[in-house]
Every structure is written in structure tokens, then in C-alpha cells.
Amino acid sequence: MVEIAGIVVAVGIISYPITFLVTDIIADVHGKRLSSALVAAGVAALVFTLLLTVLSVALPAADRYPFGESYTEVFGSSVRIIIASIISFAISQTHDVWAFHMLKEKTGGKHLWLRNNVSTVFSQLADTTLFMFIAFYGAAPMYTAGFIVSLIIPYWLLKVGVALCDTPFCYLGVRWLRSEKKPHPKE
């Protein structure tokens, strides 16, 4: 956990929005099929992480390892968070790919900035809402629906801020991938 602009957030708040940027770049250059395959690969990686975490927690710690209980406490509690991550990632990224392509059709392939930002802003809202409720709702007495909503709003706004700042990188990524697609002259 870190504090950004007076809001305590998980460090993933900075890196996770980049996944939406990557799928938008790939979607613009390579299409819906490849970007959807990338999302599926991400879900598979998260499921694999979940399985490894469950196995790691289930295995007994060696007698000489002094942190066995702490390890189990930290990683055992992360199972619910990983499940929340899988569900929110799958749904929000699928929505992002769909929304990006729908907007691409509506704009005739123009206004990359609009497709990138609109698809991401709404997908990030779905992601943040799903994740917060699945991961935390009812996990402790203080985690009421009202409290969860009070977490969702600043987290989402920070993610939107990151997404708006990544627009130039979206253009750069699309330009780079398009230049890679062009046939290179034989040497």
C-alpha cells in the first residue's frame, strides 16, 4: 500500500491500467481477435497464479522456517483477492476490447484518443467496482457497501488519470506496431 494524492492505494494502481493501454494498442493494429486472445492469456496467467498460491499455502512450512504462520496468513488471505482479480480482469478487459472495437467502427477508424479513453474509462469503472466488491465486501465488519463505494471512487479516478496520461503512449505504440507490420526490404 502507498499513498498517492492523499489516497491510500495498492501499488498495482499504477501498473494495472497499463494492461488496458496494451490491449487498446494491439486491438487497433492487430484487431479484436488478437486482443481477445491476449486477454484470455492474462486470465490463464491469473488462474495459474491462483493455483500456485493455493498450493503454496496448503503445503506445510518447514520446521526451520520461522515465518510459516505469517506466510500462510498473508498468502492465504490473498486467494480472495486473486479470485476478485481474475473475475474483474476478465470482465473489464473483455468489455474494453468490445467497446474499443465498437467505437472504432463508429468513428471509421479515426479518433484513437477517443476510443482509447472512452473504452478504458468505462472498463476501469467495471474493473474497480467488481474487484472491490468481490475482494472486500463483507470481509470485515467495516467493509459495508457504502465503505466499498467510498473506496471505488478515488481508485477509479486515479486509474482514469493514469489512462488519460497514457494517450500519447497509445499513439506511439500503434505507430511502432504498424511500422513493425510493414514488410522490411530484403538485405
Residue range 135-150: average pLDDT?
Answer: 91
Domain for residue 145, yes or no? yes
Provide the domain limits for residue 102. 2-181
Average predicted confidence (pLDDT) for the chain:
88
Residue 146 forms part of a structural domain: yes
Task: Answer whether residue 89 is part of any domain.
Answer: yes
| Number of folded domains that form the chain | 1
pLDDT at position 23: 92
User: What's the mean pLDDT in 129-152?
Assistant: 92
33-74 pLDDT, tens digit per residue, is 999 999 999 999 999 989 998 998 888 888 888 888 888 887
Residue 121 lies in a domain: yes
Q: Cα-flanking dihedrals φ and ψ of residue 6, to 5°?
A: 80, 5
Percent of the chain with pLDDT over 90: 55
pLDDT of residue 187: 41
Do residues 107 and 56 touch, judged by C-beta distance below 8 A? Answer: no
**186 domain-assigned:** no
Q: What is the pLDDT of residue 87?
A: 96
Res. 91: pLDDT tops 80? yes
Q: Hey, which of 77-81, 139-143, 174-178, 181-185 has the most confident mean pLDDT?
A: 174-178
- Asked if residue 57 is part of any domain, the answer here is yes
